[in-house]
Structure 1
Amino acid sequence: MTLRIQVLGPMRAWHDDEPIPLGPPAQRTVLGLLVLAGGQPVGLAGLIDAIWGDEPPASAVNVIQTHVKRLRRVLEPARAPHSRSELLPYLGDGYHLVVPADRIDILRFRQLLHRAAASREVEPLSEALALWQGQPFADLPQLAGHPKVRSIVAEHRAALARLGAALLAAGQTGGAITAFEEVTAADPLDEAGQAGLVRALAAAGRRAQAFETFHTVRRRLADELGVDPGTELTAAHRELLDADARTSTPAPPVVAAARPVPAELPADVPGFTGRAHEMSRLDRLTGTPDTSTVMIAVVSGTAGVGKTALATRWAHRNRDRFPDGQLYVDLRGYDPEQPVSPDAALARFLRSLGLPGEQMPADVDERAALYRSLLDRRRVLVLLDNAASVDQVRPLLPGTPSCVVLVTSRDSLPGLIVRHGARRLDLDVLRPDDALALLGRLAGDSVTGDPEAAEELAAHCARLPLALRIAAELVHRRAPATLASVVGELADHRGRLGLLSTGDPHSDIGVVFSWSYRDLPAGAARTFRLLGHHPGTEMDAHAVAALTGGTETRARSHLGLLTASHLVQRTGDRYGMHDLLRAYARDLAVRCGEIGLPQPLLDFYLRTAATAMDLLFPAERDRRPGIPATGGPALPLPDSGAALAWLDAERANLVATAVHAVAHGPEGYAVRLAQVLLRYLESGGHYPDAVALHGHALRAAERLEDRHAAAQLRINLGVLHVQQARYDEAGAELQRAVDLALEVGDSLVRVRALGNLGHLYQWQGRYAEAARFLGEVVAVARHSGDRAGEARGLGNLGQVRLRQGRHPDAAHDLRASAAICHDIGDAVGEAYAVLHLGHVELSSGRSVEAAALYEQARLVFSGTTELAGTAYALDGLGGVDVLLGEHRRAADRLGEALELFRRIGERAGEARVSNSLGDAAASTGRPADAREHHLSALRIAGEIGYRYEQSRAEQGLARLSAGRHEMPV
């Protein structure tokens, strides 16, 4: 057997191709130290010092000897007991690892670097760098700081720089850029690497990016080291300027990288008055940041005191300080039922920063780490509104001092002050003169004409901005009555309620609310009360009509009155409420016996969601649960575009009402809604919402003892886990669904569960198992008359048989799938079957026929929202172009496909196109570029467990190592 050892990345070892279990970390550390010795013996003292430092246990020698004994056992399984070890002999006072240099990747790496230095050839450098699978000893943190490990990392970076320079000299700018980008990613302050990147970008014609790179590193050097660029980087910049001077073309402007720039601040508050001192205080709190920590300011104060208004006004006034964007979330920390959790807020922020839904981590800590990475070195304002606790805020803090976080809370959040160095602004009620000024601005001459009455009115409102706005509207409504008479009426109302001013703003403002509410017509008052029960943040007039059981016209009339009274806030065509008013409205509704969400609202949401899904995915109508004909009407949606817009606008409300229904009833609403919305949530990459909704719905189904629905929901959860490459979780959910389907005797549900298990096994390369399940799916679906299920099963079975090399069987299944899809009107399903028929033709050497099928599929996909299908068709066409020698067209098509896959977050497709780009580069004599593409595909496929593309990448790299550059078919 041939022993191989890998340390460039996680530590691994093999006998031939059979992995060797190297034991616990301490045992692997001993082997790692022997590898680092490079064939030289290592004494016991050196091993003990490296592992335990100055405090070794008394048993250290025995522990080392035990580790070596076990290593000998696994590394030399054929060695006779008590015979001398050939691989790990005892030498002097220590041990010696005897393995040929070409069987240990780090030694092979150094051999290739030496050969490259002697010959000045690129190929040995490329071969050496291909050995690099990540940081040395990535799974052994104890060795991360070892001097020899740091030396290896430096050697790798130097080799990358040498490769970049060699490729640039040879005119291979794409590979040179990739190499220098990796150098500078590892050390952004490496001026030689940055200079190489500037020159490579300029040589590739990407001059604007070259200028941007120089200016970025110049700023970084000044900010972090307090120095100007050195000779080499300055020379690279001078070359750029000289080239522009020769062509009489001005230097391109420095442009920001093509990253999303969120602009999420809520609208500024109209009629904002006073708070000049507080605004200046916020300027000071955020104006002198610590260069090592993120700047955090907390605006705290009682409810209704104007915290959000102040923070929003300051944010709008300072938005130019944050050219990389402004993030905003209302954390609803004081909502008794549905405060926004940190993981939900992180999902929202990550989407705003450009992360596709499919790549959303499931774990909150992973989301927080990715969020900090995306914000690194960006100047972004993060406004966290209505936070209830430090725990709600902490995961949302960036890690870079270039960002500023502004938090509003009724609590002072001392944990943020003590642990994170936040600075606090305690917001009090308005000063008397500012309160009068706000009343004057809102109520006009009646205030300025009777200052004493105005002061009394401000006192009744506890000088809270929210109450003052409501009171000013009442003054308008009572005109032409005098201000004094209005104030007297308020005082009388307070007396009739048996309330006295206690100095507690909450008590005082309740009087103002009740006074304004009493002034409403009965219909508008009922609408106000019912709005308090809605668990979402904003509604449109259609939903309000369903909530109240009236017409849309009447709903708009009531909303107009409530808006004018400042009891609701209007944003565009949607309406929301301050949380104080929501709590007040909910309390009134309970007193009136109006408890929970009215059934007509739930019917409206469910029926409109079903209507939207029928427009977007008509062929799957029979696979969704039927919606009873009883109940109110759905919102009319003219086309699929309107359907998608409505679902996007109402997604948060739909999930919120489902969660509310699980807690308060009717639980069946959540069950049906989850099953209706699956395809929309899945295809749009809204995975956090989808998983949350299905989790709540599954609990409701189990509480209702509806095993049929529970099986369906577990299938949906399995599908969602597959989409996110969580294969263990997916397999567990799908197997449980199979068991439930058997228990309830539902063959259709069982077919669907087995079909998705087969799809999962296909991804994992378990083709025989996948084919067995999918064959059963087709048989059962055919027997039960489920034509959509039969078509889907045949399509997936055709793909598996293609992977198995059974081309005639694959073609037969795919043609049958296409025919059924055509009959039932499933254009997308038919296009996918045609696409895979193209793969069959291409694998059989019939490239012209394959191109025709790919083009047919692309035309169908282009008329739908199925962007992934378009990208897969472009990938197929690009592969044919390479075979036909149409390299420029191939590059365009494959580049477009890669961009589409990255935009929608389909990592499997990204891996596929990366491999296609690798094949294309190899066929045009660009092995370094090919290697880079295949390595990218290998990394992605490994991360998501996509065995087919992983194998394809490995084969591509093997061809390159063997010097073969042909395009595989």
Structure 2
Amino acid sequence: MRVNLLGTVELVSAGSDPVQLGAAKRRTVLAALALELNRVVSGDRLLALVWNGSPPPQAKAALQGHVAQLRKVLGPGLDLVTRAPGYLLEGERSAVDVFVFEDLVRDAREADDQAAVEQLTAALKLWRGPFLTDVPSPGLGEATAAKLEELRLVAVQDMAERLLRLDRPTEAVAALAPLAEGYPLREPLVSKLVVALHRAGRQAESLDLFHRTRKRLVDELGVDPGPELRAAYQSVLAVEALPEITGGPAQLPREHRGFVGRDTELADLDDCLTGQDSAIGLLVGPPGVGKTALALRWAHRVASEFPDGQLFLDLRGFDETEPVDPRTALMGFLRTLGLADSQISTDLDEQAAQYRSLLADKRVLVVLDNARSVGQVRPLLPGSAHCLVLVTSRHGLNDLVVTEGASVVPVATLEKSAAADLLVGMLGRRRTDLEPEATAELVELCDRLPLALRIAGARLTSRPRWTIRSLVDELHDEQSRLAALSLPEARRGVRAALAVSYRELPEGAARMFRRLGLHPGTDLDCYAAAALLDINVATARTHLRTAAYANLLHESTPDRYSRHDLVRLFARHLVITESGEDNAISTERLLDYYLHVADTARAHLADHVRPFGDPVHPPASFPVLTSHNEAVRWFTLEEANLRLVLEIAANSRQHERTWKLALCLDAFYFRRGNRVDRLNAFRVGLHAARALDDEHAEATLLLRMGATLADLGRLEDAVWESSRAVQLAAGDPHLQCAALDSLGYCLLAAGEYEKARDRATEALTIARDIGDVRAQATVLNNLANVLLGMDEAEEALQCMKEALWLLASVALSTSHVTALHTAGSALWQLGRTAEALQFQVDGLELAEELGDQYQAAACHRAIGDALEQIGGIHVATPHWQSAARLYRELRLADAEELTAKLARREPAAG
């Protein structure tokens, strides 16, 4: 089943039959959800869209009705679910024609001409009329409509270009002519139609179109035709392609041999510079990323559009020597443009004026490579509106954007396929095909950085007896990787390139960059950086932005910075030369920062958290987490870093920090149902707790480890570890209650019901003695599961009634979800199917609100079981599928079991 939005809103079944949707407002709801496929749309937003910003009092009920009706007509491939704070339409991108259109247009960019024409034709056929033509909601999709219409125009232009290259001008005319009528002043569109008409033998129509367009441009906009349209006109008059350069300087260096990739950046340059007056392009990226190669590739592509010549200058802003002075640069350009030395002024401003005068009314391309500052560039900007300037720099040069309107095109590292192609070009396919895995590893060890890849390729080229694996093995040694990616004889390489940028940093930013060498991850936030130097987050933010301006870091999201692994190694190389004592204290501050925030975060994820208290080095600044969802988001962002700092703490024998960090990570892994990583964290934490001879810490970890082992089916080990936790917990009633409860859970998993009930009863007595409401509810839940295993469902239900009564007095948490799920299971066993289903539905809504994927999966599964009995396989399947998907995301074996269950029932569904 799919949703069509490119025209009237349609819901089409697998047999291509439109489904009757009814009310216009229902079409609006479907369109809004489809445009945000797999993303939650809030109820408030839907109300505003459907009722144009003024929903009546009964609107919420009406919206629920529309959602309910849509659920009835949705078929395979689409699922409409309630997800706080609104609704979510789940499905593949291929289920919505808008996304199919976007994907076809995107894929066409990479295809050859014939395939591209076929893909673009298929994409354009999806349009049945104006976007959302029958949706009475002005606020819905306005930005999307503009974007899609622009993409449609670009698709037609691209298809026409491909058709012309395939010598199919008549088809190009047919594609372009209808749009040219609607967009008579869109010069790229008209230009291609002028050429297509001419190539189709309709020269008179071609010339007439140009003159009509030229008149409209002058009359309506007060401008002359741009270079692309003029060039098309000249090609018609001369019956040839664009004119070749007949004079002027031609200073562009040769293109780099083996240039690969960069289709996106080249397209971005075309979009922001082609046909623009006084255009300035700015290629910005880190050292060694290939900015110069990209600039030369694009410059050679457009050189023919600048008949008065091309100027090129390496400003050496990041060389070991001093950057080129603007006076020196202008002297060279003025000589090239024909002035004798005696005619050139000695004053910088007068030189710039002479330069602008010589380029007045000229069409010249100026490429300024490796600019260090705006002050270096500004005197070299022509005054002519017909000249174009392309600048490359490691710095952002924001003032050039603000004052001169420069268009920035970021240059990142190569895509994996392009980076591999670069190595293939240097080494030959026979060599890379023999070692595909080693080639892929080499690409990643070089961070897909062209400079590093070329150096690695050069080393292998000069040593034909070396295998690629031998170089990969050398690069795996982090201490020698930078040296291995350098050419000492030429003083070139990754380290030399990074060193120039580092030396330009102010002292505060340089100190910060060095300290980042102690951070083990490839990304971090401002707070972690602040902890390394024991400074406030505002100062850290300033230093990080300075390093990002120099392209040593990348601000991936607000206040979060990423870096390439080679940059991390370079910072590590810098910091190990500093005081060992200072480095040790900074490392402790970093560990305490992560421990402090993780301890705060776990309190939102677990029900029985006793905070650790202030660390030895309390951080000056840290993110304030106030909810379950904020805690989950923080853990998700920092999971990789937390793993690494746990490893640092363990390796440096900081035992107390180690077991506490392991316990914090466990709270996150438990919430995600991630049993394998829980077990690994416990092993690290237990080793530290035992090194401290801290029985309390050991018991705390063991009782959780026992439950995890039980979940993994290692029942004998689970009972053993939990029993050990009970012994170590003696004297601490809170800990003893938790340990007994864990032992009961493990005994239940092992099928030893009588022993499990005895341990749960002991735990319940302790929980009641100490007055811990949540502990009582947790133990009652486990006791109920034991009773269910003993076929004593009525007694289990009584336990859950008491548990739910207790939980009504405390804040909502995962305990409530567990209690609802277990109560539903008891009702199911008693044959009270409808009541059981309602408890599971309530549990699912709360699990989704809390972000508890594991419990959500369990509720989906139980709902599916109940619905199979009530309504049949077809209503149960979507919930089993949702449960299987969640289990897969959690990497749990339950996914395979459910998938097999679905497969077994498939014949019955037919």
Q: TM class, shorter-chain normalised?
A: 0.3 to 0.5
Q: TM-score, normalised by structure 2?
A: 0.47
State TM-score, norm by structure 1: 0.44
